[in-house]
Structure 1
Amino acid sequence: MSESRQAPARDSVIFVAGARGMVGSALVRRLHAGGYTRVLAPGRDELDLMDGPAVHAWLQRHQPEYLFIAAAKVGGIQANNTYRADFLYQNLSIQNHLIHGAHLAGVQRLMFLGSSCIYPKLAPQPLVEDCLLTGPLEPTNEPYAVAKIAGIKMCEAYNAQHGRQYVSVMPTNLYGPNDNYDLANSHVLPALIRKAHEARLRGDAEYVVWGSGTPQREFLYVDDLADACVHLMEAGYDGPLVNIGTGEDVTIRELAETVMRIVGFEGRIVFDASKPDGTPRKLLDVSRLRAQGWQARTTLAEGISAAYKDFLRGGLRTGAASAASAG
């Protein structure tokens, strides 16, 4: 392995963009646990990622050896479909400023975190990386997906034209500590946790879940994602797009039932079929990742239990700058 592909030294400067969000904070935890001593994790008050000149100047000043792009405007089906222009413009701006700024600052290695919603709505399951751009996207989150696809292609273009080692990883649906539980823009799992918790407190006989309950989804505990990302960084991975997931999925009904058991809600589920289901199934093929020597460790029940404890500790969060993950 060449020097440029070796793992960063423990005292290398590593920049985590979006460090206050769910994925960014998990990356910071994982890096600190791994002994990395110079992890840069600025908040929005220190660095506004929508300000291109400020981002470029910050990168020139700090000269990170490795950059994780875990910053994005994210939300569930309702938010994605309602704020279509915001999701497209803000995500394009954030990733453009970071990727181009990294290149100008001479940053050789970078990891761009996207989302499994980049794949066609009706692509064969499980979703392999090569199915990208082979069919229409899910309409409700198309602007967000288009932005993330642009980020992938931007990394590929800088590699081809400038010899950079900018890799892209596509996480499946994420959950865990520091998640967003605002029902107006949260993803499906934190929304279910909050709904079941509040229904239990009120003593409700039932709680309502959007859609038919039949769509199948894969869920990855966020600390497992962070571990996968650091594993790829330390392995010097500089190959093509990589899916990150568990390789297993559940129906929304099964997910809601698991949440009910963990939260302690003893009523019944009512499905509101007037609300959209989104993509019928979304399961990632993770064989490329497993070939790199990594697989998920946290079971869904273990992860939901940990997430619920975090919810009870932290209450509601708005989660403005997290990592890309479609509900």
Structure 2
Amino acid sequence: MVQAPNRSQTLTPFHQQLNHPLQKQPISVLQINLGKRCNLACHHCHVEAGPKRTEEISRDIWQDLVTLIEQFPQLQTVDLTGGAPEMHAGFKPLVEAARRTQKEVIVRSNLTIYFVPGYEDLPEYFAANRLRVVASLPCYLADNVDKMRGNGVFDESIRALQWLNQLGYGRDPELTLDLVYNPPMPGSEDEFRLPPAQAGLEAAYKAHLGGQFGIEFNHLLTITNLPIGRTKQFLQRRHLQQAYTKFLEENFNRATLEGVMCRNQLSVDYLGNIYDCDFNQMEGVAAQSAAGDPLTVRHLLEAGSLDVIEQIQTRDYCYGCTAGCGSSCGGSLIEE
């Protein structure tokens, strides 16, 4: 008889799982969080974004980021997120600077923003600039999506995806449309889940969305819920945070370490501060120079280098990125 895991055991600190500290590799991805304003307030949002948030990137910061994008040809990808990144100052100037320098641009879109007055031009703008759209759709069933993201979100998301398809997204090789899956939020320890195998779930999404709505997309990205932001608050209210983090530790997979996104990525907040990843940004864990100093965009410009970080800052929620098949902004890290 197999016994259930004893999650009363003390958590092993993540850094003790490593044979040596995680080292930064040459930077090729710049992820920018433009602010926390969003037209939605999703239950699983680690950014804690919403309509009442006012934090937004300043003109000085986004202009410095335009300079950074233009100055460093080693950058291959500019990844724009929020909040709803499209709602924030600097969004289009950053897009256009990246496209001028032939970099891939990812926009992490909630899809429903296209129906908010003043933003109806976004799908056509995305297509004209060949942006890669990465859109949250945590399930292909309406009830599950609306429970996580708000009433009516599923129907608007379907309309938005159909709109993108009409413009060529998911069909034209230059117009990539990816969807993002997150597991449901657990109400008890029995409901702790890692994302299922990405390839199999992608096939199920394509079959259902194609059959029911005629929707086509390129890839499904599976992302584990990390115990930070609203997910942490949800778990704390149910006295599940410690047990959930222990569950992630129990599923730690050393094979994921080589591919974790913090290796080759810089994450920038709306104030211009630098982090190793978006999750550290939300927890206020700043990236550090070799001398141990926190970094800003201005520091990178003055140094004339993106590669000033030697050691990645880790915390216990890093178990979320390294559990099972791994998790990143680009989906799973290894095949099951």
Normalised by the length of structure 2, the TM-score is 0.33
Higher relative contact order (CA 8 A, sep 6+): 1
Structure (1 or 2) with the greater strand fraction: 1
Structure (1 or 2) with the greater helix fraction: 1
